[in-house]
Structure 1
Amino acid sequence: MRAIGANQYGGPDVLEVVELPDPVPGPGEVLVRVHAAAVNPTDTYVRNGDRARAQAKQSQPPYVPGMDVAGVLEAIGPDVRTDLAVGDRVMGVVIPHGRHGAYSELVALPVGSVAAAPAGTSHAEASTLPMNGLTARLALDLVGLEPGQVLGVTGAAGALGGYVIELAKADGLVVVADASEADEPLVRKLGADIVVPRGDGVAELMLQEVPDGVHAMVDGSVQDAALFPAIRDGGAFAAVRCFRGEPPRGIRNEQVWITAYAQEQERLDTLRRQAETGVLTLRVADRLPAAQAAEAHRRLEAGGVRGRLVLEF
């Protein structure tokens, strides 16, 4: 099969088309023929080696990035109990390691990582949902707010931030979010109740709007400790990348690791239903042929992408 991988760590240009053996689904696994793979910031860490260095793990190249797939169920391995059938349109979460990543024509996944794709969506649209949607759901579950409580969201115009806002509103929360002037209409359309300018000083701006502080913060823009002033005593902070600091005033530091929900098929299927009913908005920034993965990485790292760039096989 064809895949997109890197034979050495580096910039976007190290990504190239590679030939790999077709994967065979083992016990408890299914095989997906990939039509679309979303491009996420975490993919760049697989490519440049940051992920391997952070985990102190080294595998053999090529290193294949990618955490989101959508396509067609190709085969079902042994010892699998599922309502899915060969030929169904599906989406799934991939936890990349070595040659195993979403930027591949075929990928074998635990059946719990795969669910039906939302009806009426393209493969590209469906590929934007699994990893970011489940990450947003996990962040909200970790902070554990009750209806009517106030959630702060940074990076609100991004793919993750958008899902956090929409799921928070579905949970009955009040949302205070950041946005640039250009992105404010989008963030309000996603459901934010209060929007403050993004950038330095966002915590102080949120505190002006919510003087007692928000009950919890989901930090999509990775501002870490700079956001603590906006969180009330005993509140919660959800870090979507590793933050090892100790928050003040009894604030809980919740680490959002997608591996915790990577095989939560029921939650992924709930996201599918929410996309079908309009609770969640699937945003594709652009579609590119898989062979243009380097260009997709360049565009992502340049910033300003709204929604997800998607590679198509």
Structure 2
Amino acid sequence: MKAVQIRSFGGIDVLELREVDVPHPGPGQLRIRVEAAAVNPVDIQTRSGALAQACVMLPRPHIGLGWDVAGVVDHVGAGGRSDLTVGDRVIALSDRLMQPLKGQADFVVVDSSHAARIPIDADPVALSTLPLSGLTALQALDYADMAPGQTLLVTGAAGSVGGYVLQLAQRIGLQVIATARAHDETLVRALGAHEFVPSNEDLAEETRRLTSGGADAVVDAASLGLAALDAVRGSGTFISLSGPGPIPLRGTQVRSVWIRADGGQLARLVDADLTHRVAGTHPLEHVGAVHERMQVGGERGRHVLLP
């Protein structure tokens, strides 16, 4: 089978599409015949060596790429979940960084607890964009632990994670303030934002103008740090998606989301009938071109590889 791997860190040229043996699922695992695999910023950070420099992964002889997959269960290992069988259509998250084979391949092995069934007529391309961004959004809101009627600020609201945060926050009855570039206002309001602050304006001042004393919490999808913290009321909550976050000034509670795979939460996200955004589809061998486009930036949604 074919699989995207790297054997060293660096530029686009370190990406390889290699012929490898089909993996075999062990106890509690299942094998998925991949129909679609989204490309995420973490793939760029893995390939470039940024994650190794941040001491969250080590060099290995071969490192696979791809966290998000949609496909068909092809083989079930012993002792796995009894509710997932061969032929079921699923999405899954491959959340270990240093595996030699991950989601951007013809087949991938994951823990059965990391997968969720999807409807037989579901679009695998659209749903392949859900696991990493959707779980990050859901777990961020779980950490924020907010009640209906409270005010949530979402930075980077037009991005993939931010867009899911907006939709999920609306479903639990939060009052949502979104910040993004001015031309994204129509998009983020359609996804669930009640108020909008263009990213070129003073975020703290505008948020405090729209609220009483600042937002109750912020999900900082744009990694603004202190600028976002200043928009939160005293004793409010700051959710960081990119590390420890800022110093908890004014009695704020600063929490970091370190994404974990969770099939039960994935099932909740599938049932939520969210809007998914696909920037484009590409054959697996065009993974280098996808990395180049993502490095340029400016596109909305995820690019998806088709084995």
Aligned mates of 2:217, 2:198 — CA distance in 1 = 19
Residue correspondence of structure 1 range 1-313 to structure 2 within 5 A:
1-55=1-55, 57-95=57-95, 96-118=97-119, 120-199=121-200, 201-259=202-260, 262=261, 264-275=262-273, 280-313=274-307
1:215–1:236 Cα contact (<8 Å) kept:
yes
Q: Which moved more, 1:117-126 or 1:133-142?
A: 117-126
Q: One-letter code of the match for 1:41?
A: P
Residue by residue over 1:259-279, the C-alpha shift from the partner in whole angstroms, topping out at 9 and shown as x without a partner, is 2xx1x222111111112xxxx
Q: What is the DSSP-based 3-state SS (H/G/I as helix, E as strand, rest coil) of the residue aligned with 2:85?
A: coil
Aligned mates of 2:268, 2:286 — CA distance in 1 = 32
Q: One-letter code of the match for 1:54?
A: A
Q: What is the DSSP-based 3-state SS (H/G/I as helix, E as strand, rest coil) of the residue aligned with 1:196?
A: strand
Q: Which consecutive residues of structure 1, in runs of 5 or more, have no partner in the other structure?
A: none
Following superposition, the deviation at residue 133 of structure 1 comes to 0.7
Coordinate RMSD, CA, aligned: 1.5
Q: What is the DSSP-based 3-state SS (H/G/I as helix, E as strand, rest coil) of the residue aligned with 1:121?
A: coil
Q: Which moved more, 1:168-177 or 1:209-218?
A: 209-218
Following superposition, the deviation at residue 63 of structure 1 comes to 2.1
Aligned mates of 1:199, 1:5 — CA distance in 2 = 39
Aligned mates of 1:203, 1:306 — CA distance in 2 = 26
2:154–2:220 Cα contact (<8 Å) kept:
yes
Change (3 A) 1:149 1:202: same
Q: Which moved more, 1:97-106 or 1:70-79?
A: 97-106
Q: Which consecutive residues of structure 2, in runs of 5 or more, have no partner in the other structure?
A: none
TM-score by length of 2: 0.95
| Count of equivalent residues | 306
Aligned mates of 2:163, 2:60 — CA distance in 1 = 36
Aligned mates of 1:214, 1:93 — CA distance in 2 = 32
Residue by residue over 1:91-123, the C-alpha shift from the partner in whole angstroms, topping out at 9 and shown as x without a partner, is 000113141321111111111100112554321
Q: What is the DSSP-based 3-state SS (H/G/I as helix, E as strand, rest coil) of the residue aligned with 2:305?
A: strand
Following superposition, the deviation at residue 12 of structure 1 comes to 2.3
Q: One-letter code of the match for 1:286?
A: G
Following superposition, the deviation at residue 81 of structure 1 comes to 2.5
The structure 1 segments of at least 4 consecutive aligned residues displaced by more than 3 Å after TM superposition are none
Aligned mates of 1:206, 1:296 — CA distance in 2 = 36
Aligned mates of 2:87, 2:120 — CA distance in 1 = 14
Aligned mates of 1:227, 1:123 — CA distance in 2 = 35
Q: Which moved more, 1:244-253 or 1:162-171?
A: 244-253
Q: What is the DSSP-based 3-state SS (H/G/I as helix, E as strand, rest coil) of the residue aligned with 2:250?
A: coil
1:203–1:229 Cα contact (<8 Å) kept:
yes
1:225–1:247 Cα contact (<8 Å) kept:
no
Q: What is the DSSP-based 3-state SS (H/G/I as helix, E as strand, rest coil) of the residue aligned with 1:73?
A: strand
